[in-house]
Chains A and B, each alone.
Chain A
Amino acid sequence: AQSVAQPEDQVNVAEGNPLTVKCTYSVSGNPYLFWYVQYPNRGLQFLLKYITGDNLVKGSYGFEAEFNKSQTSFHLKKPSALVSDSALYFCAVRVYNQGGKLIFGQGTELSVKP
């Protein structure tokens, strides 16, 4: 069965410091992995995806994610956090051969303090 785990419910970071939000996955076949962000009372916004190729994927708002096949991880990173990055972040994996069906993790709340 395919699954996604986000081991941290909350991550606290000081503005200007690097941030990492962790994600591990379990899939059959080659993984299609995603990060989405959700601001309060809003829908989800696509940040970035990994399908194939370079293990370091760059996305919106200065975020990037590193795909590690041996550790089955897809951690989200940003070199310098902003207060406006504070939001709920979801890692997701696409179900094999089922197009728009994504399995989401439980989410990690990122809090960036000035």
Chain B
Amino acid sequence: ETGVTQSPTHLIKTRGQQVTLRCSSQSGHNTVSWYQQALGQGPQFIFQYYREEENGRGNFPPRFSGLQFPNYSSELNVNALELDDSALYLCASSQGGGELNTGELFFGEGSRLTVL
């Protein structure tokens, strides 16, 4: 059984640029959630994908977007980067959508984004 893997692990961008982060979900999981964790804070929910459809979104602007592929891997895209986007971006996989999903999440190691 393979765990959740994320890439890249670290990256540096400048304001206004665009970034794509990637996540491979754990074997057997069909749901991927993305979280933003700013320094010293708890993770904040960005959005979730279940069977390639967005299935819940947090309080993040539209420049945060995502995709889920048929193999349940996922991408997080952020356009027009701002300084406040500097954070650890965590991907989590789980099984099921809606009430079928108990909320037990399996997290990757994260992608640390620095915006200068």
Q: Which chain A residues have a beta carbon within 8 Å of chain B's beta carbons?
A: 32, 34, 36, 42-46, 49, 51, 90, 92, 94-95, 97-107
Contact = CB atoms under 8 A, between A and B. Distances in A.
A94 B56 contact: no
Interface in B78-116: 90, 92, 94, 96-110
B109 A42 contact: yes
Interface in B12-69: 31-33, 40-45, 48, 50, 55-56, 58
Interface of B: 4, 31-33, 40-45, 48, 50, 55-56, 58, 90, 92, 94, 96-110
A22 to B, nearest CB: 15
B35 to A, nearest CB: 8
Taking each of A92, A99, A100, A105, which has the highest tally of chain B beta carbons within 10 Å of its own beta carbon? A100
